Structure 1
Amino acid sequence: MKATRDWFGETLVDIAGEHDEVVVVNCDLGSATKALRFRQEFPERFFECGIAEANSIGLASGLAQEGLRPFVSSFGHFLTGKFLEIFQSVGLNDAGVVLVGTHAGLAIGKDGPTQMGLRDLALMRTLPNVEIIHPADGVETRRALEHIAAHRRPTYLRLCRQPQREVHDESHRFEFGMPDVLCEGEDLAVFTMGGMVEVVLDSLEPLAEHGVRPTVVNQSSLPADREAVRALGRRHASVFVLEDHFVTGGVADEIGRILLELDRPPRFGVWGVPDYGQAAAPADLYARYRLDVPSVVEHLRAFTHRTPA
């Protein structure tokens, strides 16, 4: 088991060997984001800007306008904290920058809310020309990076600190925006992404003991394919979204808006982080915010057995 940030560091080196236009703009966190592996292999294509995300975004935008494919790496919280620069330099110019935000969600632990990537999806979703990708494992990270290297659209790649087991085999094909159905269930569809995918899958066995057998959907890229999400909405009486992000602005808002377009929308529920986060060990935080396996089981049991108004 490795974190998706580790898979990023390894795969980017492989991709750079095939794509000369790939460069890295680093923000003094290369050890944590795993971008230093790139510097070892391609030192002439590695630009260190120090603790200066705003400057890094401007530099990367210029490099993109000259035909390069720059990857800017930092913690997701710090990187998207420079939203004005992303809006002005990347979004408005349609610059082919890849913003790599690591340490998504609560898993940064004791470093607390000043470094915790909990509102990055909400910010990046407001930009109409930016692709957002948050892979669930190593296979999906590699496939997503192949997709990213093959085009020049602005992209936000969201990565996790915590190790994640493989939920895909090598035959997996990444299709941007498409809901990735990992498990077919019955009346309930559960949408999630990134580090929460494993948690939802680990909840299936105890849920089955209570007669709950959900369809598990890895919505690893946004904007979501609207027709595919509508099709899942029509097939299920209920939809629930679980995310390691603020309860507003993330996957739930994306999926909920699409489902509301249906003539008969399914019942809809969501669970995420309702406040700014806290500083504690990751396991304690996931338990506190009820995003661990026992809590997910309880959420879905309660939601499934609740009588509609």
Structure 2
Amino acid sequence: MKATRDWFGDGLVDVAAKHENVVVVNCDLASATKTSKFKEAYPDRFFEVGIAEANGIGVAAGMAQDGFRPFVASFGHFLTGKFLEIFQSVGLNDSGVVLVGTHAGLAIGKDGPTQMGLRDLALMRTLHNVEVLQPADGVETRKMLEHVVSHDRPTYLRLCRQPQREVHDEDYRFQFGHPDVVRPGEDVVIFTMGGMVPVVLDAVDVLADTGLRPTVVNASSLPMDHEATNELLGAYRHVLVFEDHFVKGGLIDEVGRIVLDLDRHLRFHAWGVDDYGQAASPEELYERYELDATGVANRIRVATSAASADSDRGKDTQR
């Protein structure tokens, strides 16, 4: 198993071999963001700006205006912390910059909330012309990179630190915005993304003996395609969302807005990080926020049990 930041480091070298306009603007974190491999392969296309994300964003925006496809890499928390520069230099100017935010979610562990990428989705979703991508595994990381270098739109690529197993095979075809069903089921549909995809799959396995068979959807690119998502939701009565991000502003809000626009009622439950984050080991943090397999399985069980009880009460009333 490898982290998606590792797959990114390998894949970036591969796409750069085919696209000479791909360059890297680094913020003194080449080892952590895995852009060091690019530096070794293409030293003349690697630009170090030091601990200066705001400067790096400006440099990259200028390069994009001159026809390059620059990747600016730093921790997601630090990079999106320069939101003013992203808004004005990248978003407002429609500059073809790829903002690469690593160390998404709680997995940075003991470094704590001052370095955790927990609010980055909320920020980047406000920019209407920015594509937001978060791969679930190595296969999807490579497919996403091929997509990213095929156009010049502003992009935010969100990557994880924790190792993740493959959930796709080599035949997987990435379609921007389309819900990717990684586990078909019935009655209940669960949306998640990135490092939470294998966790939710493990949680569903834990529930196998209960008879629950939720569908698991990898929502790896935002904004989601409303038509495709609406079509998917037509087969379900209950929607759950789990994300390694603040409960406000991220995937929960993305899916929630789509559910609200439907012409029928669906039950909706969602979980994420409900405070600023804490400092502890990754295992302790995911357990604390009930975002490990055990916690997610329990949340699914409780939510679906409550829904069944409400449904039974409704039948009694009708009788």
TM-score tier, shorter chain, comes to: over 0.9
1:116 aligns with 2:131: no
Residue equivalent to 1:255: 255
1:129 aligns with 2:167: no
Distance 2:205 2:167 in 1: 16
Unpaired runs of 5+ residues, structure 1, are: none
Equivalent positions of 1:1-309 (< 5 A) are: 1-306=1-306, 307-308=309-310
Which of 201-210 and 185-194 deviates more? 201-210
Deviation at 1:268, TM superposition (A): 0.4
Distance 2:310 2:240 in 1: 14
Question: How many equivalent pairs are there?
Answer: 309
Deviation at 1:208, TM superposition (A): 1.7
Distance 1:287 1:74 in 2: 27
TM-score, with length taken from structure 2? 0.96
Deviation at 1:228, TM superposition (A): 1.3
Deviation at 1:29, TM superposition (A): 0.5
Provide runs of 4+ in structure 1 moved above 4 Å. Answer: none
CA deviation digits over 1:222-267, x for unaligned, max 9? 0000011111222100000000000010001001101111111310
Paired residues of 1:233 and 1:265 also in contact (CA < 8 A): no
Which of 207-216 and 189-198 deviates more? 207-216
Percent of aligned pairs sharing the same letter: 69
CA deviation digits over 1:16-58, x for unaligned, max 9? 0000000000000010000011000100000000000000000
Unpaired runs of 5+ residues, structure 2, are: 312-319
Distance 1:102 1:35 in 2: 11
SS in 2 for 1:174: coil
The one-letter code of the counterpart of 1:296 is: V
Which of 252-261 and 124-133 deviates more? 252-261
Larger radius of gyration: 2
Distance 1:35 1:259 in 2: 38
Paired residues of 1:239 and 1:269 also in contact (CA < 8 A): yes
SS in 1 for 2:234: helix
SS in 1 for 2:160: coil
Paired residues of 1:234 and 1:265 also in contact (CA < 8 A): no
Distance 2:98 2:206 in 1: 39
The one-letter code of the counterpart of 2:179 is: P
The one-letter code of the counterpart of 1:216 is: V
Distance 2:234 2:27 in 1: 45
Deviation at 1:138, TM superposition (A): 0.1
SS in 1 for 2:207: helix
Paired residues of 1:74 and 1:100 also in contact (CA < 8 A): yes
Distance 1:91 1:204 in 2: 39
Distance 2:310 2:136 in 1: 32
RMSD across aligned C-alpha pairs, in angstroms?
A: 0.8
Deviation at 1:269, TM superposition (A): 0.5
Deviation at 1:308, TM superposition (A): 3.5
SS in 2 for 1:203: helix
